[in-house]
Amino acid sequence: MKPVILITGATRGIGLAAAKQLVARGAQVIIGSRDGKRAAEAAAQVGGGTTGVALDITDQASVDAAARQITQQFGRLDVLANNSAILLDHYQSLLDLKPEVLLETLNTNVVGTLRVSQAFVPLLGKSSAPRIINVSSGAGSLNGGSQAWAPAYCISKAAVNMLTQQLTAALPDVMVNSMCPGWCRTEMGGSNAPRSPGEGADTLTWLALEAPHSLRGKFVKDRAVIPW
C-alpha cells in the first residue's frame, strides 16, 4: 500500500523537489498550495498519480476543507510535511523590524504549522505509522552564535522547533521531527546558495519513508540529528 503524503507549499523549491523524490519512491503525494490551480499544475508536473489540493495554512476554513477532501479521497494520511513558510525580512535589522511583520511571519510559519497539524491529526490516526515533518531551518537554532539576518524568520523557526517538541509530547504515537534542509537555491534561498532543492529535500524524503519510527522529537539535517 502506497504511503499517502501531504506536503504543504509544494508547488516549487524544496517541497516540489521532495514530491518528485517521493513519487519516484512509490509514494502517493498530495501537493498543497493556497492556490488550487497552481497545486494542480505542480501535481501534473510531478506525475505518478500526484494530486493537488487548495490549502492556505493561514485560513482555518481552507485547512478544514483540504482535510475533508483528503479524507474522502484517501481515507488516511501517513505523512504530513509542514513545508509552507514565508521570509519577509531578509536583511532587516531587528531594531527596524515592524511588529506587524513579525506577527505575519509567526502567523504563517508557526500558527499555520500548528493549525495544519491539528486538523490532520484524525487522518494521521488512521495510519499504522504516522509521521509529521516540520521543515525548519538552521536559522532557528539556539546552538550557534548570534546572527543579525532575518530576525522575524529566525524567531519563527526557533518557535517551530519548540512546536515540534510540543507535538511530540502531545502525540506519543506519531513520529514528529524538525528538519533543516540547508541553504538551497530556491526563491527564498536565492541563486547563490550552495545546495540544490533536491539536496535540501533529501532529508524530508528520508524522514518520510526510511527513518526509524523511534526517531522522535529531534532536529535533523542530512539524515543526522543536530543540536537544537
Spot the catalytic one: 137, 141, 156, 178. 137
**Could you confirm whether 157 is annotated as catalytic?**
yes
Spot the catalytic one: 20, 157, 218, 221. 157
**Could you confirm whether 137 is annotated as catalytic?**
yes
In the structure grid, which three cell numbers stand for residue 44, read together?
Answer: 501534473
Q: Please state the φ and ψ torsions of residue 33, each to the nearest 5 degrees.
A: -155, 150
How many residues does the structure list for the chain?
A: 228
* Catalytically active residues, by annotation: 137, 157
